[in-house]
């Protein structure tokens, strides 16, 4: 079973014409919400919703790369998601395995780099190795940098950063007076990734859910009722055009 939401090349070109390509957000982050509700509305198993959500990821990655977005980060699996039923977690990990296996085939000629942010140690050895392989294979690509937040949590990230800073003070690598915002950022999972300009959340929820809470201090937030499996190029264009119509003052006037 597959639900086609393809948009014609002509329609995509029309969508692109609505965007100022010289004022694109450098980094877009997405909280992909609504897979389960999408499936429930159709009396389908949750795993079908997750599988269709994976197709939405593919559409979004390809279109973001075509537009010239430099960084795209998706919230794939949080540190809190381990509390879900084992069957659902197993299905999600199976999907991740398939995605990593297909990455080079489906994105190999698109100059896309993939990176993992989060704590990998609790993931299976197989998944850890596949992540390392695809990161190594794509590390020299200079198109879209696609960051997958997997076993990621904002509070966990900040806690780990504090521990690392405390240890480096203990080992006399840094001093207490060295601590500032720039230094703290260097201890996060996103240390060499710019903070997100735009954070998108689907499914009509209005919260960050422990996602990039250090990095999102001045991010523009965009919410939509669309359930993630139905997210397509139109929604991404709507988010970007809304972003381009906003005035970002960073606390100034």
**33 belongs to the catalytic site:** yes
Mention every residue, 6+ apart, whose C-beta is less than 8 A from residue 46.
Answer: 35, 36, 39, 40, 88, 91
Q: From the candidates 11, 22, 35, 81, which is the catalytic residue?
A: 81
Smallest Cα–Cα separation from 131: which of 148, 144, 143, 145?
148
**Tokens (6 digits) for 247:** 């005035």
How far apart are alpha carbons 6 and 72 in whole angstroms?
21
Starting at the edge strand found earlier in the chain, the sheet holding 113-117 runs 113-117, 145-152, 71-78, 27-31, 198-201, 220-223
Q: Is the CB of residue 239 less than 8 Å from the CB of residue 220?
A: no
**81 belongs to the catalytic site:** yes
How far apart are alpha carbons 225 and 220 in whole angstroms?
17
Q: Is the CB of residue 237 less than 8 Å from the CB of residue 15?
A: yes
DSSP-derived 3-state class of residue 130: helix
Number of other CB atoms surrounding residue 243 within 10 Å = 21
Question: What letter would DSSP give residue 83?
Answer: G
Q: What DSSP string runs through 238-249? A: HHHHHHHTS---
Q: From the candidates 6, 11, 20, 33, which is the catalytic residue?
A: 33
Question: What letter would DSSP give residue 26?
Answer: S
Q: Which residues are catalytic?
A: 33, 81
């Amino acid at each position: 079973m597959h639900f086609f939401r393809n948009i014609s090349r002509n329609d995509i070109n029309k969508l692109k014409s609505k965007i100022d390509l010289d004022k694109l957000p450098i980094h877009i982050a997405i909280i992909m919400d609504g897979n389960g509700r999408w499936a429930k509305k159709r009396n389908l198993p949750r795993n079908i919703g997750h599988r269709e959500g994976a197709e939405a990821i593919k559409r979004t990655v390809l279109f973001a790369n075509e537009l010239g977005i430099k960084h795209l980060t998706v919230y794939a699996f949080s540190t809190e998601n381990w509390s879900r039923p084992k069957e659902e977690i197993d299905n999600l990990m199976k999907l991740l395995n398939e995605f990593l296996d297909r990455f080079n085939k489906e994105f190999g000629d698109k100059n896309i780099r993939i990176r993992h942010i989060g704590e990998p140690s609790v993931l299976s050895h197989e998944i850890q190795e596949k992540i390392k392989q695809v990161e190594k294979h794509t590390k020299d690509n200079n198109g879209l940098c696609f960051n997958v937040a997997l076993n990621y949590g904002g509070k966990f990230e900040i806690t780990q950063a504090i521990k690392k800073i405390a240890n480096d003070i203990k080992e006399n690598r840094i001093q207490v007076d060295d601590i500032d915002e720039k230094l703290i950022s260097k201890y996060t999972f996103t240390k060499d990734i710019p903070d997100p300009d735009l954070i998108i959340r689907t499914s009509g929820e209005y919260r960050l859910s422990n996602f990039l809470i250090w990095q999102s201090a001045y991010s523009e937030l965009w919410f939509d009722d669309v359930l993630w499996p139905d997210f397509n190029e139109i929604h991404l264009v709507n988010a970007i055009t809304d972003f381009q119509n906003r005035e970002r003052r960073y606390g100034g006037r």
